Amino acid sequence: MKITDIQLTQDSDFAIASARVSFEQSDHPGKDVYIKTPVEYARGFDANPDAFLVGCLLPALHLGEKRIFLEGAVCPFLKEGVHVAMHILSHWTQGRYVPIPVESRVRKHQDPPAQHGAGAGMVMSGGMDSLAALRQNRLHYPDTHPAYVRDSFFLHGFDIGGVVERGAKFHVFDRAMTAVSRITQDAGTSLVPVYTNIRHLCDDRALWLDSFFGAVLAAMAHGFSSRINLMFIASSYDIPHLHPCGSHPLLDPEYSSYGMRIRHRDYELSRLEKIRIVSQWDTAFQNFRVCLANVPDQLNCGKCEKCVRTMTELTALGLLHKTRAFEADEITPADISRFDITIRVRPPFYRPLIPLLKEQGRDDLARTIASLLQKADS
């Protein structure tokens, strides 16, 4: 893989960091990739070679490239981390992903903190993980501390606009921005919209979920390394249920440079503990966004597996009727039965709900989940 023509340009609407990616061993088509943000949010945004190294790493490994050649100088601290990350990924894939050399110059100097990014940022999706992370930040850090989050970053090209065949859905992104901005305003943090097509380098679902999506978040962070020097990424799973995943506490920190620390946080908290934290913050609890269906007329469709699972979790905690984030305030066994909850990442979310649902008098839901999980237990 060759990553060339790294540049920062600006039009009337956006500041755009871009690069040309071409493949040497694979016949996969080359692509101009970008990370961009509206000009009014572009303070501290730049075309950082570190961003494109991290963002393009997984497609290179997945498609069998023999090297990454990158124009521009990268941080040697990051270069070491990428080497470690490749070995983690090689272990996870039983050797299918083969570590490859990164051919690039290294930066010889690091700007002092006064000239470099000196603030903290957080990836913000509007879901329970990121909202709990932001709430924990507000509870644990005084506003005078450098790790007190000042900027939240909301990424188009992640779930919204991430799959080419589903369309860009900019109107869905704008609607989600409106809802999430209510939360970030209440928390006293700015909400920065960012757009990227890095995921489109290789739109393989297994690659994205198992290996890739944390690297795209880290790439976005490096684009703002003259604005922030710490990016929090909320955990997807807790410690007992960690498994090879695109965002992982072993993997994400290895995408750090000396000047941009990536921290994977809150993996000591279960999903239900995170929901309890968010439920105690009313603005967030009324405006959260968990839906991956990205339907045109609702923030949360209430019908996809992620919505149904969250509604079931809220029911188990006696909280569903207290939020306006879903139009419905009732979940039925038929809603749950429409989905296969036995695939590898779902049972840990559903199994703890059984005793809680019984306590809520919802034996019907508890029996349904127990019956469906028998397949996973057998």
pLDDT in tens, 120-152: 999 999 999 999 999 999 999 999 999 999 999
Position 248 in a domain: yes
Average pLDDT over residues 236-243: 96
Distance CA 162, CA 178 (A): 19
Q: Same structural domain for residues 60 and 138?
A: no
Q: Do the beta carbons of residue 89 and residue 231 sit within 8 Å? A: no
**Residue-number span of the structural domain to which 156 is assigned:** 119-265
Q: Dump the DSSP string for 68-98.
A: EEEEEEE-HHHHHHHHHHHHHHHHHTTTSS-
**168 pLDDT band (50/70/90 cuts)?**
confident
Position 284 in a domain: no
**For the chain, percent of residues with pLDDT exceeding 70:** 97
DSSP reduced 3-state for 203: coil
Give tens-digit pLDDT for 247-277.
999 999 999 999 999 999 999 999 999 999 9
**For the chain, percent of residues with pLDDT exceeding 90:** 89
Is pLDDT at 113 greater than 60 in this prediction? no
**111 pLDDT band (50/70/90 cuts)?**
low
**378 pLDDT band (50/70/90 cuts)?**
low
Distance CA 351, CA 349 (A): 6
Q: Dump the DSSP string for 122-161.
A: EE--SSHHHHHHHHHHHHHS-TTSTTSEEEEEEEETSSTT
Is the model more confident about 299 or about 150? 150
Domain final residue, candidates 211, 245, 265: 265
Position 145 in a domain: yes
Domain final residue, candidates 214, 241, 265: 265
Q: Same structural domain for residues 258 and 177?
A: yes
Is the model more confident about 335 or about 168? 335
Q: What pLDDT is attached to residue 295?
A: 76
Return the amino acid letter for 188: G
Pseudo-torsion of CA 151, 233, 254, 17, nearest 10°? -50
Q: Same structural domain for residues 83 and 141?
A: no
Q: Same structural domain for residues 66 and 188?
A: no
Average pLDDT over residues 214-226: 97
Q: Same structural domain for residues 91 and 160?
A: no
Q: Do the beta carbons of residue 317 and residue 276 sit within 8 Å? A: yes
CATH of the domain at 227: 3.40.50
Cite the DSSP H helix spans in 224-362: 271-279, 282-287, 305-316, 333-337, 347-350, 353-359
Question: Rounded mean pLDDT of the chain?
Answer: 95
Nearest to 232 by CA among 159, 152, 290, 171: 152
Position 113 in a domain: no
Q: What pLDDT is attached to residue 176?
A: 92
Domain final residue, candidates 106, 139, 159: 106
Q: Same structural domain for residues 69 and 17?
A: yes
Is pLDDT at 117 greater than 60 in this prediction? no
Q: What pLDDT is attached to residue 114?
A: 46
Position 289 in a domain: no
Position 111 in a domain: no
Say which residues have a Cβ less than 8 Å from residue 93's Cβ, sequence separation at least 6. 211, 244
Position 272 in a domain: no
Query: Which residues lie across from 137 on neighbouring strands?
Result: none
Q: Same structural domain for residues 91 and 146?
A: no
Say which residues have a Cβ less than 8 Å from residue 187's Cβ, sequence separation at least 6. 134, 135, 138, 149, 152
Average pLDDT over residues 156-161: 92
Position 285 in a domain: no
Number of domains the chain contains: 3
Q: Same structural domain for residues 259 and 331?
A: no
Is pLDDT at 103 greater than 60 in this prediction? yes
Question: CA 188 from chain center: how many Å?
Answer: 21
Return the amino acid letter for 312: T
User: What does residue 222 show for φ and ψ, rounded to 5 degrees?
Assistant: -65, -25
Q: Same structural domain for residues 97 and 123?
A: no
| Sheet containing strand 261-265, strands side by side | 102-106, 68-74, 2-10, 14-22, 31-38, 190-196, 149-156, 119-123, 228-234, 261-265
Q: Do the beta carbons of residue 260 and residue 225 sit within 8 Å? A: yes
